Structure 1
Amino acid sequence: MSRIALITGASSGIGKATAEAFAKSNIDLILCGRRRERLRELSEALGPYVKTTTLEFDVRDRTGTFKAIDSLPSEWRNIDILVNNAGNAHGFGPVDEGDPEDWDAMLDSNVKGLLYLTKAVTPGMVQRGRGHIVNISSIAGKQTYANGTVYCASKAAVEALSEGMRLDLTQHGIKVTNIAPGAVETEFSMVRFKGDEARADKVYEGFVPLRAEDIADSIAYAVNAPAHVMIADITILAAAQAAATTVYRKS
C-alpha cells in the first residue's frame, strides 16, 4: 500500500521539489498551498506517477487550515507523512526598525501554521500508531544573526517544537525529523526583500548555493529510512557556507 504525504508550501521551492522526490518513491501526495494554478500544474505533472490531490489554503488561517484537512475524502485521511514546509522571511533590519506586520507574517506562518497542521494531522497518526513529521527549520534556528532577529526566533521555535514533538510522539510510533537548510536559492530572498530582485540576487553571488532539490533529497532520505531508524536532525549547508552568515565568495 502506498504511503500518503501532505506537503505544505508545495507550489514552489523546497515543497515542490519534495513532492517530485516523493513521487519517485511512489508516495501519494496531498499538495497544499495558496497558489491554485501552480498546485494544479504540479498535480498534473505528477499525476501519471502517483495519486495526487490539492488543498488551497493559508497555514496562517487556523479555521481555514482545519477546514481544509477536514474536507479530505476518506481515501486521503490516513496521512503517513506530514512535511511542514510552508514559511517565509519578511524584512531584513534591526529589531528597533522592524515592521510588526512582518513579525506577524513570520510567526503566524513559521510557528503557528506549523502547529495548526500538526494538530490537524497527528491525532490520526497517534490512533494508527505510526507516522512521520518533517519540520523545515533553518540554520537561522541554530545561529541567530543581526537584522534577522524575528526570523531567527521563529526558526529557533521550530527547532524546539521538533524536539518537543519527538519527546511527545515517539511513544506512539511517530518519527519527527528536523531539517535545517543553509542558503537555498528559491523565492526566499525575493519575499524577504519584498520583490527587490537585484538585492535578492546578491545573496547568492560569488558561490554555488543549495538547490531546493538538495533539501528534498535529504527529506526523502529521512522518510525512506528503515523502520527502526529515525533521522532526528539534519543541517545542510552549501559547500562555501561555514555558518549562517559566513559564506566564502569568489570575487
Structure 2
Amino acid sequence: MVRKDLDNYKTCDPVVKLYTREHGLHLDEAGIEKITADCEANPGAVLVLDAFLSLIQPLGLDSDSEGAVEPLQNLLESIAPFNITTVLLHHSSKSRAHERASNAAAGRGLGRMASHVVNLHWLNPDNKEDQRVRLTTEGRSSRSVDCVIEQVDRAIWSMHGDSSTISEQLDLSKVRAKLSERHSNVLSLVEQHWMLTDRAIEPGEVAEQMAEELGNNARQKALQALDALANKRLVEKLTRSDHKRGKVVSFQPLKGQLPESWRCA
C-alpha cells in the first residue's frame, strides 16, 4: 500500500512479478541476478520467497548446515539498495517442529539473519480435528507475540487468545479425561452447583447429593475426592473460619475452566 495521508492508504496492484515452479528460480548466481533486476525495477516492494528448501535444493546444500544460508545472504546483499522487504517461508522438519523458530530454521542460520521470525505450528498435533494454530514471534526490535489462531474461512482467521492459557486448558482437558468415574461425577457436581448457586460447594453437600454412590463415610470420601481434584488443579479449595463451625472448607471451579456446555448455558 501507498500512504496518501495520515492513516489513509491506497492499495496497489499486489503482484509485480511471479515465478512459478514451472518457470522457477533458485538462489544460484543466475537466479539472484534476475531477482535483483526485478527489485531494482520495483524499489520498496515485498519479495516473497517460497520456500527456502526448494530455492537451495538444486545447489546441493544441506538445509541444516550453516552454509545453507549463504545464497540467501548473497541475495539480501544484492537487493539491499532497493529498500525491499523480504519474506522467506521455511518448513522445518518434523523432528524440529516444536523448537523455537530461530533454532529450527536451517541450523539456526536463518534465525540469526531474520529481523523478525513468525512461527506457526499445530496447537494439538495429536488431534487431527483440532485446527487451532499456535503463532509465536521473535524479533530484535518488537514485542513478542504468543497466541492461538484458527482459520475459519479462506484468508480469515479468528483469535482464541493467549497460548499459555489455552495450552493449560488443553492439559487440564487431558487430566479430566483420565479421571475415575467417582472423581468425574464429583467434578460435575461442583460445576453444576456453581452454575446454579454461584457459590462453592462443601464436602457435606457433596456427600448428601452422592450418598448412594459414596456409601459409608460419605463426607470423608467426598472430601478426599475434592482434595484430589484440587491437587490436579481442576477445582479451587477455599478455607474460611466460622465462629460456630470453626474451619470450613469448600470447593469451586477454577476461573475459566467450566466446560463449554456450561458456559454457554
**Smaller-chain TM-score range?**
0.3 to 0.5
TM-score by length of 2: 0.35
Greater strand share, 1 or 2? Answer: 2
TM-score by length of 1: 0.36
